[in-house]
């Protein structure tokens, strides 16, 4: 069985166990769902070459009805058509400004906040460009099921980087992109975003 399919099945198994633990009131059912979750942890750990305890730690705060994680990003272009990218301190690779959505903010507010923190630029959010399910794109496999929203932003003010998750900021020509953090964004997606900003369409999965 292909690795990605095995991983998808393990994540689905874990989601069912998490949802079951949220709704069950029976002691024995709770034990069964916990056992299913433990099996899923082992499967994910085997596929991802991780320790089972590390996988369990990643999901330690996941509770309630299981939902995909929401990754919110912002595409910002300058007048020359170059794309704004930030270098992720975690892996030394480049990406669109963005990250996990924060509770209490709208998706657009999240996108603007991430640009401000990671690049120093204040932007107006113009519109939504894409709503992608990363499982339907050739991203590296992830232990999480992730939906990605990408907004178009326009710069209104410059400033200083105030976050700690990025360590460099630069505009790049689309045909001279730096090494990208492929779990976050892919070259073909950046090119697609450039095409989308020139029209009125929204990409969605």
Q: Is 164 exposed, middle or buried (0-12, 13-18, 19+ CB in 10 A)?
A: exposed
Mean pLDDT estimate for the chain = 91
Over range 79-103, report the average pLDDT: 95
Higher pLDDT: 163 or 68? It is 68
Helix (H, G, I), strand (E, B) or coil at 86: strand
Q: Percent helix, strand and coil across the chain, each rounded to 5?
A: 40, 25, 35
DSSP-derived secondary structure letter, 137: T
Helix (H, G, I), strand (E, B) or coil at 22: helix
Q: Which range, 2-11, 98-107, 183-192, is most confident?
A: 183-192
pLDDT digits (tens, 9 = 90+) for 173-194: 999 999 999 999 999 999 999 9
CATH 3.90.79.10 fits 69-204, yes or no: yes
Instruction: Report whether pLDDT(1) > 70.
Output: no
pLDDT digits (tens, 9 = 90+) for 122-150: 999 999 999 999 989 999 888 888 999 99
Q: Would you list the domain boundaries of the chain?
A: 3-58, 69-204
Provide the angle, in degrees to the nearest 10, between the axes of the packed helices 3-23 and 27-48.
Answer: 160
Instruction: Report whether pLDDT(67) > 70.
Output: yes
């Amino acid at each position: 069985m292909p690795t990605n399919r095995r991983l998808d099945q393990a994540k689905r198994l874990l989601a069912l166990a998490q949802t079951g633990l949220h709704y069950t009131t029976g002691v024995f059912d709770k034990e069964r769902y916990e056992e299913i979750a433990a099996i899923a942890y082992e499967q994910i750990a085997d596929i991802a070459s991780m320790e089972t305890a590390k996988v369990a730690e990643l999901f330690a705060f996941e509770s309630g009805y299981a939902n995909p994680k929401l990754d919110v990003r912002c595409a910002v272009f300058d007048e020359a058509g170059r794309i704004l990218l930030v270098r992720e301190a975690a892996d030394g690779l480049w990406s669109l400004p963005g990250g996990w959505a924060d509770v209490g903010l709208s998706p657009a507010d999240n996108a603007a906040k991430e640009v401000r923190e990671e690049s120093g630029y204040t932007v107006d959010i113009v519109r939504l460009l894409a709503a992608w399910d990363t499982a339907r794109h050739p991203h590296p496999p992830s232990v999480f099921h992730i939906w990605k929203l990408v907004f178009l932003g326009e710069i209104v003010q410059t400033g200083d980087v105030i976050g700690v998750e990025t360590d460099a900021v630069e505009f790049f020509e689309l045909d001279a992109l730096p090494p990208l953090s492929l779990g976050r964004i892919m070259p073909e997606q950046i090119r697609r975003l450039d095409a989308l900003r020139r029209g009125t369409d929204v990409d969605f999965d």
